[in-house]
Each structure stands twice: as structure tokens, then as C-alpha cells.
């Protein structure tokens, strides 16, 4: 067999670690970015918050061509307080953690007398529960063979822990378990289980007599069971953290002021970061090679973080400017006036890739006269002939349902007819059903006739 050498030429794109970090930081919500900055300040001695500093939008490229627009104004932001006060305030207001449901359950499990294999089984079971205390998968699929014999015993122990209702597969089983733990009588528990498993939707629609007949109980007894059900929680883990507390902190605001739309960046959320000049001097003059290398590495990392934060802020500002111009009707008149606008269109306007707009819009919020809204909610595809956005049509559907005074719930087909006849919006019945579901509005059958 002869050896053969083939030459080929191809293009290959490789992302540097710095570029990957930049993409990740751009997608971070403000609270997580604050935590990242806090960690950097605590671990990198070359980073500091200067005593004074101002940021002028006049220094941003292409800003002059937009700042005189008649419909909006944009505030500058800076830091005029003492550096020590600002740094202290920033560090005090970053995220703190509280006990998660899994930590709460594991703490209780440690107080139960168990053998080593039973405790290990309990750890595996609890570690595979979600934030509500429900098993993500069948325990038999992730437990080790030696743990299977004690599976049922340990699950029973977990189900007896606080909060009641954990250690099951879904919210229906959780409600039934909670009823059992409250020592409901066997015959009442049987009826309650049947009600939760099969008849809740029918009961919600107001068909009490029909449900009572199927369950072979009196209406009064059914009402009592339903009232008891309302005292339980279908998701017992909601009172615990799933990780660090996440607060919705707007990255910018757009409000009407003196007849104009004014956009302001959140000047208090992110401090100005600089390199301590003393470390720059040490990097040039220190004799010890290891010390010099360490300082230079820390300065390099600090410079990368500062550049990435600036890139994030600048990209967000450019995207927000386009949103302000294109969705001015929304900011002035409300959600029903949202225009069709895609991330691709915005990317073309500011000269970046569509994925960059997607990253910068992820988990970012704007404070508006209509509430704090996600940046992503301002992007919407066109519906019908292209004159209305999907989100605006959903708001119109909500208004039609809520404003119905006919005494009879409107069907999806009827809503579709009203949209076409009164609003000149052509939307199919199945599309109305889809939008209604996204609005968390029940069908006309459940809403009642």
C-alpha cells in the first residue's frame, strides 16, 4: 500500500478566548454582570473605581447624526460621587444567595438515622429534583444498582420532609401527597385524587353538578374538597431559591418628558473601571520576573474586562436607539402600537451580525411609561398583510376578550372574524388559539357560555 500526501486549502474561523468571553458577557443580564464585576474587583488588584469620571455621548461615533432628532433626546451618564462611596454602594448591592430547596432537603435528610447506602440514595434522589421538588427523571434510571433496593424507603422519607409535596413526579401527585400528609380520610382522599387527576378543568368551567355526579358525591362535599384544594400549593418549591436571587434591573429607560421621548442609560448599575496607575508603574519598573509577569497578566485581564463592558454598553445603546426610532409609537401610545421589527433589520442598521443583536437583547430590560419590559419584546414578526406585529395582535385579542359584553364567551373563530371585520387584520382561527394560549387565557369552553 503506497503512501500518498494530499494538499488542500480551506478557510477556518477560530474564536479567541477573549472573543468568546466578550460574547458571553454581552448576553449577561445586568445583575449577573454586577456579580462578575464584583468578583473581578475582589480578585484583581489592578482594577479600581476612579474618584471621578464622566461619559459623554458626544464622544461616541455617529452620535452627532442622531442626537438632534426631533422625537427624542438622550441623557449622558457619569459618576460624580466619591469613589469610595460608589464602590461601597456597588459591593453592598450585588447579589446575595439564600438556601435552595435541595440544600433545605439535604439538611433535613442529614438528621434522619440512615445507613450509608440509604443516605447516598437520598442524596442522589434530592440532587435529581427540580426547583419544585419534582423528580426530573424516573429514579430507577439514575440510581446505582446497589441503591435500588432502598429506593422506595428513601423516597417515602423525602416525601415526609418539609415542604410537604416534594419527592413526586408532577404537581398533581404533589397535591395528592399533601392531602395525604394532612390525614384526609381514606374515602375523601380517594375522591380528592380522582378530582385532581381528571376533573379539575371541568370543575373550573363551572360544571360542579356534572363533576359531583361523576365522583358520586354531594355538591356540598365537592365544594368542601375544592376549598381544601385551594389551601395547598401545586409547586412546593416556590418559596426557595433556585440559585442567586434574580432581580429585574433595567439597563436603560425610555420615557416621555416635555413632549419628547428621552432615553437614559442606567448610570448607577455599572461603575467606571480603570487600571490602578501604581500597578502600571510597577509593571515597568519591578525587577522580579515572576512579579512583573503576574502584574502584566492582571492588567491584561483588567483591560479585557473594561473593553468588553464598553462594547456591551455601546452595542446596547445602538440597539436601543434603533428601537427608540422604530418603535416610537409603542413608547408613546402603548403595546397595541408595536410595529413589526426583526433582529436582522436592527443588525443591518447598526452594522453587526444578527446573533450580536440576539445576545445583547437577551435578559435586558427597558423602563418605560408602560412598565419594565424585556428588550426582546420589542421585536416582533409581521402578521397578515404586514401592517401589524404579532405582539400588537395579541394585545388586541386580549382587549376583544376582556371587553366582551355579549354574555357569551367568544370562540376563537368569532375572534378571528372580529379581527378581520373590525380591525382589518386577517388571522386564522388556529392562530387566534395559539395567541390566546400565549396570553394564558382559557378557551371559550372553559370561560363558560
In this predicted model, what pLDDT tens digit does every residue of 97-124 receive, in sequence order?
Answer: 567 888 889 889 988 898 989 999 999 8
Q: How far apart are CA 168 and CA 176, in angstroms?
A: 10
Cell numbers that stand for 72 in this block:
427624542
Grid cell 473605581 in the structure block, residue: 49
pLDDT digits (tens, 9 = 90+) for 354-373: 989 999 998 899 999 988 89
Question: Sorting pLDDT into bands at 50, 70 and 90, what band is 54?
Answer: very low
* CATH tag for 382-447 (out of 1.10.10.60, 3.40.50.10860, 3.40.50.300, 3.30.390.50): 1.10.10.60
Q: pTM value?
A: 0.54
Which distant-in-sequence residues (6+ apart) come within 8 Å of 255 by Cβ?
Answer: 261, 262, 367, 368, 369
Q: Which helix (H) or strand (E) holds 228?
A: helix 219-229
> What CA–CA distance (Å, rounded) separates 342 from 239?
37
Q: Is 53 helix (H, G, I), strand (E, B) or coil?
A: strand
Q: What is the pLDDT of residues 226-259, one digit of tens each?
A: 888 888 888 888 777 655 445 678 999 999 988 8
Is the pLDDT confidence value at 57 over 50? no
**155 has pLDDT over 50:** yes
Q: Which has the closest alpha carbon to 337: 389, 265, 284?
A: 389
Q: What is the mean pLDDT of residues 3-24?
A: 68
Q: What is the C-alpha to C-alpha distance for residues 24 and 39, in angstroms, rounded to an integer? A: 16
pLDDT tens for 395-423 read 888 888 888 887 788 888 989 888 888 88
Residue 305 pLDDT > 80: yes
Average of per-residue pLDDT values in the chain: 82
Amino acid at each position: 500500500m503506497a503512501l500518498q500526501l494530499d494538499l488542500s486549502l480551506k478557510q477556518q474561523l477560530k474564536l479567541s478566548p477573549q472573543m468568546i468571553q466578550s460574547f458571553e458577557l454581552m448576553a449577561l443580564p445586568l445583575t449577573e454582570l454586577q456579580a462578575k464585576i464584583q468578583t473581578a474587583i475582589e480578585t484583581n488588584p489592578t482594577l479600581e473605581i476612579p474618584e471621578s469620571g464622566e461619559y459623554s455621548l458626544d464622544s461616541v461615533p455617529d452620535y452627532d447624526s442622531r442626537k438632534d432628532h426631533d422625537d427624542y433626546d438622550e441623557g449622558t451618564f457619569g459618576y460624580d460621587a466619591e469613589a469610595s462611596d460608589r464602590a461601597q454602594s456597588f459591593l453592598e448591592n450585588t447579589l446575595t444567595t439564600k438556601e435552595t430547596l435541595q440544600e433545605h432537603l439535604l439538611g433535613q435528610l442529614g438528621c434522619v438515622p440512615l445507613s450509608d447506602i440509604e443516605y447516598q440514595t437520598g442524596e442522589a434522589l434530592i440532587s435529581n429534583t427540580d426547583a419544585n421538588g419534582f423528580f426530573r427523571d424516573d429514579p430507577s434510571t439514575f440510581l446505582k444498582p446497589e441503591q435500588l433496593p432502598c429506593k422506595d424507603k428513601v423516597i417515602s422519607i423525602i416525601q415526609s420532609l418539609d415542604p410537604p409535596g416534594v419527592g413526586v413526579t408532577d404537581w398533581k401527585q404533589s397535591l395528592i401527597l399533601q392531602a395525604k400528609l394532612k390525614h384526609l380520610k381514606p374515602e375523601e382522599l380517594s375522591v380528592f385524587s380522582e378530582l385532581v387527576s381528571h376533573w379539575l378543568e371541568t370543575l373550573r368551567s363551572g360544571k360542579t353538578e356534572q363533576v359531583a355526579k361523576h365522583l358520586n358525591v354531594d355538591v356540598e362535599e365537592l365544594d368542601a374538597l375544592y376549598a381544601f384544594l385551594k389551601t395547598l400549593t401545586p409547586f412546593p418549591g416556590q418559596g426557595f431559591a433556585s440559585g442567586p436571587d434574580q432581580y429585574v434591573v433595567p439597563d436603560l429607560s425610555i420615557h416621555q418628558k416635555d413632549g419628547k421621548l428621552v432615553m437614559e442609560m442606567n448610570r448607577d448599575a455599572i461603575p467606571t473601571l480603570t487600571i490602578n496607575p501604581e500597578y502600571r508603574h510597577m509593571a515597568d519598573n519591578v525587577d522580579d520576573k515572576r512579579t512583573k509577569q503576574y502584574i502584566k497578566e492582571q492588567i491584561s485581564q483588567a483591560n479585557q474586562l473594561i473593553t468588553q463592558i464598553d462594547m456591551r454598553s455601546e452595542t446596547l445603546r445602538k440597539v436601543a436607539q434603533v428601537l427608540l426610532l422604530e418603535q416610537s409609537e409603542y413608547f408613546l401610545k402603548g403595546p397595541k402600537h408595536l410595529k413589526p421589527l426583526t433582529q436582522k433589520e436592527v443588525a443591518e442598521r447598526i452594522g453587526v451580525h444578527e446573533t450580536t443583536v440576539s445576545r445583547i437583547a437577551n435578559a435586558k430590560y427597558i423602563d418605560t411609561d408602560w412598565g419594565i419590559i424585556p428588550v426582546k419584546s420589542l421585536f416582533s414578526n409581521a402578521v397578515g398583510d404586514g401592517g401589524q406585529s404579532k405582539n400588537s395582535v395579541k394585545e388586541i385579542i386580549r382587549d376583544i376578550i376582556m371587553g366582551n359584553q355579549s354574555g357569551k364567551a367568544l370562540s376563537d373563530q368569532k375572534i378571528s372574524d372580529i379581527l378581520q371585520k373590525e380591525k382589518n387584520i386577517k388571522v386564522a382561527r388556529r392562530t387566534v388559539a395559539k395567541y390566546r394560549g400565549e396570553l394564558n387565557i382559557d378557551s371559550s369552553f372553559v370561560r363558560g357560555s
